[in-house]
Amino acid sequence: MANLLDGKATAEKIQAELKATIQTLATKAGRPPGLAVLMVGDNPASEVYVRNKEKACTRVGIASFGQHLPTATTQTELAEKIRGLNQNSQVDGILLQLPLPNHLDAIALLHQLDPSKDVDGLHPVNLGHLVRGEPGLRSCTPAGVMRLLADYDIPVEGKDTVVVGASILVGKPMALMLLEAESTVSVAHIKTQNLAKLTREAEILVVAAGYPKLITQDMVKPGAVVIDVGINRITNYEGKSRIVGDVDFSAVEPIAQYITPVPGGIGPMTVAMLLQNTVWSYQQRI
């Protein structure tokens, strides 16, 4: 049976460390770190994520400057909000909760974030720092994966790693971080011809496709480290819904060396990295 990579416990440990750091720094700086999560509309999943992020902020001592805007908010109004937060000296991090309603252009808005406050690491300046291997604000989910591997002393250097998913939010920055850690990275996406052939080569397999049970037992090399980033809500025949990842957990767990649960794996690590990015940005500013 695989060892569980407990993202929840690791995230709690990181939050405790951040809380102590903030207590020390805030006394000297005269203010706590500040994070603004901007949410537009009523996407129920986003509401849960935003609430979790704000609760986590409160736990560690980060002030929340979040705003929940109506669905009808225009591009100009949202751009104006971002400009205000860019200029607000109490705010160290700004996060635009995605997805946005269809009439809004998320990419154009992300470009308007002050890169030094872009705690999601999605601004081209921060993605550029990542490509160059420079320090900076890094995409929270892949950063959370790297941190979890490090906390469990799982070596990455020289390994064959496979990332399933190539989004700008998860898959691409994940591949860059695994490359930076000197593994041999392959990236699969929706047009990949023989996914199973590729995933079976992985000593470390990271899956971020958004498709329940995409990864079955026969697609995993025995003894592999399996990181499941996926978050999918599925409903059973009784109408009860629950969250599952992209990996068929019960089938893969017996043959993997390590595996992340869903929930309780990469989700809490993502929130911990968001808080860490906010504190990093604060430290650069004070």
From the list 53, 117, 159, 172, the catalytic residue is 53
94 or 187, CB closer to ligand NAD?
Answer: 187
> Are 67 and 260 contacting, i.e. CB atoms less than 8 angstroms apart?
no
From the list 6, 92, 118, 120, the catalytic residue is 120
| Residue 6 bears catalytic tag | no
Other C-beta atoms within 10 Å of 99: how many?
Answer: 12
The reply on whether position 205 binds ligand NAD by CB under 6 A is no
The reply on whether position 195 binds ligand NAD by CB under 6 A is yes
81 or 138, CB closer to ligand NAD?
Answer: 138
| Residue 151 bears catalytic tag | no
From the list 97, 159, 172, 246, the catalytic residue is 97
In this chain, which stretch among 65-73, 86-94, 161-169, 247-255 interacts with ligand NAD, using CB under 6 A?
A: 161-169
| Residue 97 bears catalytic tag | yes
Using CB under 6 A as the binding criterion, the count of chain residues that bind ligand NAD stands at 25
Q: Which two tokens stand for residue 69?
A: 């805007």
Q: How, if at all, do strands 232-235 and 241-244 pair?
A: antiparallel
The amino acid that residue 54 corresponds to is E
Give the side-chain half-sphere CA count within 13 A for 251: 14
Identify which of 144, 93, 145, 147 has the alpha carbon closest to the alpha carbon of residue 115: 93
Q: What's the Rg (C-alpha) of the chain?
A: 19
Question: What does the alpha-carbon distance between residue 199 and residue 216 come to, in Å, rounded to a whole number?
Answer: 10
CB of 131 to ligand NAD, least distance (A): 18
Binding site for ligand NAD (CB under 6 A): 141, 164-167, 169-171, 188-190, 192, 195, 208-211, 214, 229-232, 266-267, 270
Active site residues: 53, 97, 120
